[in-house]
Amino acid sequence: MSSPPGGFDRRNFLRTGGVVAAAIFGGAALAACTSAVSEQKAGGDATPVRGGTLKFGIRDDLVPANLLTNTGATPVIVGLVYESLIRYPNDELEPQPLLAKSWELAADGRSLSLDLRDDVKFHSGRSFTAKDVEFSIRTYADAKWSAQLRSTATAVTGFDIVSPTRIVLRFAHPLSNVYDLLDTVPILDSESVEQLGTGDTYIGTGPFRFVQRVPNSQLVFEKNPDYWVPERPYLDRVEIAIIPDPQALLNALKSGQIAAARELGYRDAENLAKGGGYQVLDLEGAELQSYVGVNVTVPELADVRVRQAIAYALDRDRIVAEVYRGAGYPLNVPWPKNSPAYDESRNTRYSRDIDKAEQLLTEAGTPPKLPLTFAPGYQETAQIVQSNLADIGIEVELDPVDGATFVKQLTGAQFRGLWVTDHSWAQFVPSTLTVSAYPFNARRNASHYESPAYVAAADAAWQRAESTGPEAVQAYKALSDQLLEGLFLIEIGVRYQQYAASNQVHDLGWTKRREPLLTDTFLS
């Protein structure tokens, strides 16, 4: 839903301190709003049909211990089984009602009052109440789950439960990204929380109930008959097949074993779309950003001039065109085009310039051979980076590792030199990236980069009541300047994850975290 009902300006309305978010929906009206929250959908012109089983293929299995990390198959579980308090549209940062139907931010930005729906039940039959809000945020803040917005969750220091449908959250300081937190935290069932880490049971309030998990093979869900949105979902059942090999995933889609797939190879998706009978969807609003990471404690990479030379050497246009087949665009700073932090002048600082790169290396000295670590799926990008750096005299040794090893090196800051991967979260309020995401965290990051000025800029962007106004935008410019100056991460560009589906699949949606939204999906 990109514009509010009734014609008033929700953007200004929500940004005013101490103002109530007045969009209180009931029944069918909220059903319409919920269906519109994901702006981009597949096959939206057909008349909805009830029933049927959607068979969906993905490449990564579920790791139960990572339920709150948005990795692997976690987005599937969260998108189908759970719901959050609010939900952003895919094209902007204006919170829309979900389990919270209205809210009021205090003028000083240090507390938020939430009014909750009173007609929502967990899949167990238990009613959703304010106690579940407190439980879910406290659980998300627990260090054992390694949740990426944990720093924001731990800044929620008070939970005043006024009634079963009203709660006041109190903050250690203003939080510009508090709605990111409320959009992200799944409302969890306290009675079954001990089973979350085992993968045995998932109980939420969402449109589908968890039925079964067969490790490395399948996840099964069935329609929630008591879902609070009237007459939804349309599907009776969703079966998720785990198919790690991209060629096998493509073959399963083409043979009709599955009707939709997440993350085919970009060339395969491109060819599939040209052949007819299929649709390929760029998950706009849920952008990933490809980048080259740098361990700045490696002596050869400690001189920022060497990092600048690498930044000038990268052929971002080639990577976007050849690897992502145009499903993205080049960047120098992490923010996608719909972010309040996007700034074209800062975004073209390090356009490819071999002469500048060579001049910098003449001043700083050309480093010896550097390792470039990457996980499966990133080899093509790594090879182009290797070729680009060879153009300026930097020799790179490719260092492929398995996915688990790569994640361990990322979260443990163990890379030996350079690495190539993606990051996310830049599509949210910009402060979230620099206080939460592993590669960017100003206080502890995978690059071992330390800078009091960067910490100050990150805190200034985070500890404020508003997230998209003029003062916030200035704070984000300062943050971008710190990233361009430190250059411990060298951005390549946006890439869109993709869904590919048969034309018989209609209204396939997604959230800003790439969670599938199948509330309105149907088959013809």
pLDDT tens string 96-153: 999 999 999 999 999 999 999 999 999 999 999 999 999 999 999 999 888 889 999 9
Mean pLDDT along residues 9-31: 33
Question: How many CA atoms lie less than 13 Å away from 289 in the CB half-sphere?
Answer: 26
Residue 141, token pair as written in the block:
């803040």
User: CA 442, CA 411: separation in Å to the nearest integer?
Assistant: 14
Burial label for 255, CB within 10 Å (0-12, 13-18, 19+), is: exposed
Strands 489-495 and 288-294: what pairing?
A: antiparallel
Q: Which residue has the higher pLDDT, 168 or 64?
A: 168
Quickly list DSSP for 446-482. Answer: TT----HHHHHHHHHHHSSS-SSSHHHHHHHHHHHHH
Kindly indicate the confidence band of residue 453, based on its pLDDT and cuts at 50, 70 and 90: very high
Does the predicted TM-score (pTM) go above 0.75? yes
161-196: pLDDT as tens digits: 999 999 999 999 999 999 999 999 999 999 998 888
Q: Which token pair is 54? A: 């959607």
Q: pLDDT at position 23, please? A: 30
Sign of CA pseudo-dihedral 334, 340, 346, 352: positive
Distance CA 356, CA 334 (A): 22
Residue 3 clears pLDDT 80, i.e. is over it: no
User: Left if phi > 0, otherwise alpha if psi is -120 to 50, otherwise beta: which for 153?
Assistant: alpha
In the 3-class helix/strand/coil scheme, how is 413-425 assigned residue by residue? CCCCCEEEEEECC
pLDDT at 8 over 50: no
Report the pLDDT value the prediction gives residue 64, as an integer from 0 to 100. Answer: 84
Of 191, 35, 67, the closest CA to residue 140 belongs to 67
Report how far apart, in Å, the C-alpha atoms of 41 and of each of 31, 180, 208 are.
16, 22, 19
pLDDT of residue 44: 52
Residue 158 forms beta bridges with which residues? 170
Question: In this structure, what DSSP letter does residue 394 have?
Answer: -
Tell me the per-residue pLDDT of 50-62, one tens digit each, with 9 for 90 and over.
Answer: 999 999 999 988 8
In the chain, what percentage of residues exceed pLDDT 90? 82
Please check whether residue 82 is in contact with residue 204, taking contact to mean a CB–CB distance below 8 angstroms: yes
* Residue 1: per-residue pLDDT: 32
- Please tell me the distance from the alpha carbon of residue 468 to that of residue 4, in angstroms, as a whole number: 18
Judge contact between 286 and 511, C-beta under 8 A: yes
The DSSP 8-state label assigned to residue 223 in this structure reads E
Q: Is residue 448 within 8 Å of residue 459, measured between CB atoms?
A: no
347-362: per-residue pLDDT in tens? 999 999 999 999 999 9
Q: Which two tokens stand for residue 15?
A: 């940004």
Measured in whole angstroms, the distance separating CA 178 from the mean position of its chain's CA atoms is: 16
Q: What's residue 336's pLDDT?
A: 96
- Asked if residues 178 and 21 have their Cβ atoms less than 8 Å apart, the reply is no
Average pLDDT over every residue of 193-201:
85
pLDDT (tens digit per residue) in 460-502: 999 999 999 999 999 999 999 999 999 999 999 999 999 999 9
Is residue 155 left, alpha or beta, with left meaning phi > 0 and alpha meaning psi from -120 to 50? Answer: alpha
Which residues, at least 6 apart from 169, have a Cβ–Cβ distance to it below 8 Å? Answer: 111, 112, 113, 114, 137, 156, 158, 159, 178
At residue 55, the pLDDT reads 98
Span 382-406, pLDDT tens digits: 999 999 999 999 999 999 998 889 9
State mean pLDDT over 437-463. Answer: 94
**CA gap 180, 426 in Å, rounded:** 11
